[in-house]
Chains A and B, each alone.
Chain A
C-alpha cells in the first residue's frame, strides 16, 4: 500500500510540475464557461431595421416608435422604396425591412410586410416572430407591454381582441438562456478530454521515454502502476467538475435543480468511462503524437459534433443518428441536462444511466484485457 501511495505521489508531481498544462487544464473550462455563458447567445437583440416610408400615417409612426423602444430592434434609417431596403440588407447594413401598406385587415387598418434577411433560417424566424408580435399590439394601449418570452401574444389573437386564448409557456428555461443548454455539454466535453486524453498521453509518454520498463519491474503489480496513473487524473477531473458546477451556479446563475448526489454519481460513472477509454488508447498508441491524434479524432470530433452538444441529434440524417448512439457523452449530456436543468428524479434518467454503466463496464473490461504486462 505504501509503494502504491508513492506511485500516486509520483504521478501527482508530474502533473503539478507542468505549469503550462495546468494553466490550460483550469483556464480552458473557465474560458469556455464564460464564452458560452455570456457571449454565445441567440437572443434577439439590436436587430437593425429599416422602415420603408412609402406610406405613412400616425399609426405607422406609433408602431415604429414601439419597435424602436424595445431592446430587440434598432431603427437604423428610413428609405423610400423596398428596393433600397433590400440593397441595405444585401450590403449588411440592415437585417430587416418593414413595409407598411394601408390595405390590411388588421385592427388599425394597417398591413405590415416584413422583409427579413433569411441567411440564418432560425434567427430570421425569431426576428419575424418578435416583430410580428410587437407590431400587432393594439395602437390605443396606454401602456403597451413588451412581449416577454414567457408568453408572446399571438398575432391573430390581437386582431380578435382576445389576448388570452393562446398562451405559450417555456418550461425550465423561460429566459431562453443558452448557458442552460451548454453547461452540461461543456462538462461532457471537458471531462472526456481531460480523463481520456491526459491519461493516455501520460502513459504513452512513459513508454516513449523508456520509463515504462523501469516501472514494470518495480515491486508494484503492473495493473497497480496503471491505476496509480489514473488516480491523480480522477482527482483532477473531480476538481474541474466542482469548478464548473460552482461557476455555473454562482457566475452563470444556472440552476442545479436536481439532486447534487445523483449528479455526482452519474459524473463518477462517466469519469471512469473516460479513464477506461484513455487506458484503451494508451494500449494502442505507441507515440505521444499518435495518442494525441487518436484522442482528437476519435474523441474530440464526435464529442463536439455528434453528442448533441451544439447540433441537435434528431435533426441529423438517420445514419449519423446511429453513429451518435455509440458516443458516450451523448448520454451523459442528456442525463445532466435533465438532472441539472429540468430537475427530474433519477428514475427518469434510468435509460441514460444504464447505457452509460454498460458502456463503462464494457470499455473497462476491454481495456484491462488488452493491457500488456510486458513491452514487446
Chain B
C-alpha cells in the first residue's frame, strides 16, 4: 500500500514542470555562488595615514601596510580632520595618525566586526610582533569558505526539505485532491510517511551533490567521517519535512503556509549560531538554542566537517536531533485530520 502512495508522490513531483528542475539546479547554483558571497572576512580595508613625523620608521610602516593582505593603502593626508572627511564620505575605513612617535588608530566601527578586527590587525603591524603567540586550530589558513560551506549544507537542506513539503498538503487541499485521500482506506501514519519518504531521498541527493561540489569547486573535503554527515543530514531532513507538513496541515492557502514557514525559518536560522556565535547571545536567546534543531546540526556538522570529530564528539547533538525529529513527525501524523 505504502509503496503505491510513494509512487504517487514521485509521479506528482516528476509531472510538475518546475519542481524537478528546482530540485536539481537549486543546490548546484547555491553551492557555486554563495560561498563567494558569504565572506565575512575582513579584507580590503582602506587605511589612510596622517604622518606628522615623516621619519624612516613611519615610511617603513606605510610600506608594511601597503604590502599586507588585509589593507589597501589609501594615501597620505595632511591632517586628521582631512582624513576623517574621507571616512565620512566612505572612501576610507581606518586612519593611522603618527605624531611624536605615538600612534593613533581610528577605525570606522559602524560595522563592529570590521572596525575592531581592522584595528586589531593594524595594531599588530604597528607593534610588529605579538605578546603571546597564538595557534589557530583546524582552519589554519583562516579560510572563510571552509567555515561557511557546512553551514550552506544546512541552508540548502532547510530550503528544499522544508519548503517543498510546506506546499505539498496545502497544495492538495487547494487542488481538491485531498478529498480522495480522505475517503481511501489509508492509515494516517502511512499517508504522512509516504509524504515524508520522497523528501528524505531528495535530501540524500542534495547532500551528495553538495559534498561533491564542495570537493570539486573549492577542494574542501570533510575532516571527519562522511557517514556522520549523512546521518546528520537525514536527521535534519526528518525535522524540516515534518515541520513543513505540520504547517501545511494547519494552513488553508499556499500563501499563508509560505509566510508561516518563512517566519519559522528566519527565527531558526538567525538563532542557530550559523552567522554569529551562540555564546555571545543574551541568556534568553541562548535558552532557545536548546530546542533549536538547526543549532544542534550546525554545531555537529562543523565539528565533523572542520574539526574532524568522531561520533563520540557529536553523540549529544545526534540524540537531540533524533528526539526533536521524531516528536515532530509524530505531531505531523496527529495534525493530519481526515474529516475536515
Once the chains are docked, how many angstroms separate the CA of A128 from the CA of B137? 12
CB neighbours of A92 from chain B (8 A): 299, 303, 307, 309, 313
| C-alpha gap A314/B309 in the complex (Å) | 34
Judge if B139 is at the interface, Cβ distance under 8 Å: yes
> Would you call A156 an interface residue if the criterion is a C-beta within 8 Å of the partner chain's C-beta atoms?
yes
**A289 surroundings in chain B (CB, below 8 A):** 254
B residues near A317, Cβ cutoff 8 Å: 36
Q: Which of B90, B129, B147, B276 is A338 in contact with, Cβ under 8 Å? A: B90
Residue from the list A48, A116, A180 in contact with B137, Cβ < 8 A: A116
In whole angstroms, how far apart are the Cα atoms of A338 and B91 in the complex?
Answer: 12
Cβ of A164 under 8 Å from chain B: yes
Closest Cβ neighbor of B101 among chain A residues: A165
B13 within 8 A of A: no
B127 contacts across to A, CB distance below 8 A = 154-157, 166
Contact A171 B109 (CB under 8 A): yes
In the bound complex, residues from chain B placing their C-beta under 8 Å from that of A316 are 36-37, 39
Interface size class for chain B? 35 or more
Q: Which of A5-13, A107-115, A222-230, A365-373 contacts B (4 or more CB under 8 A)?
A: A107-115
User: At the interface, yes or no: A266 with Cβ under 8 Å from chain B?
Assistant: no
Q: Does A131 contact B (CB under 8 A)?
A: yes
Q: Does A168 contact B (CB under 8 A)?
A: yes
Contacts of B126 in A (CB 8 A): 154, 166
CB distance from A352 to the nearest CB of B (A): 8
Known contacts A35-B270, A149-B116, A154-B127, A124 near B136 by CB under 8 Å: yes
Which residue of the partner chain, among A32, A89, A305, contacts B37 with CB atoms under 8 Å? A305
The residue in chain A whose Cβ has the minimal distance to the Cβ of B88 is: A344
A44 — which chain B residues lie within 8 A by C-beta? 280
**Nearest Cβ on chain A to B290's Cβ, whole angstroms:** 14
Supposing A91-B303, A168-B123, A311-B37 touch, asked if A119 and B280 sit within 8 A by C-beta, the answer is: no
Q: Is the CB of B299 within 8 A of A135?
A: no
- How far is the CB of B318 from the nearest CB of chain A, in Å? 13
Measured between C-beta atoms, what is the minimum distance from B15 to chain A in Å?
17
Closest Cβ of chain A to B44, distance in Å, is 4
Chain A residue contacts of B144, Cβ below 8 A:
121
Residues of A with Cβ closer than 8 Å to B?
A: 20-21, 24, 28, 31-32, 35-36, 38-48, 86, 89-92, 95, 106, 111-126, 128-129, 131-133, 135-136, 149, 152, 154-159, 164-178, 180-181, 288-289, 292, 305-306, 310-312, 314-317, 320, 334, 337-338, 341-342, 344, 348
6 shortest A-B CB distances, which residue pairs? A155-B131, A176-B112, A118-B136, A170-B109, A39-B285, A121-B142
A42-B277, A43-B280, A170-B115 given; name 18 further pairs at CB < 8 Å: A31-B266, A35-B285, A39-B270, A90-B309, A112-B131, A114-B135, A115-B135, A116-B136, A118-B142, A121-B136, A122-B42, A125-B142, A136-B132, A152-B123, A167-B103, A171-B107, A176-B116, A341-B110
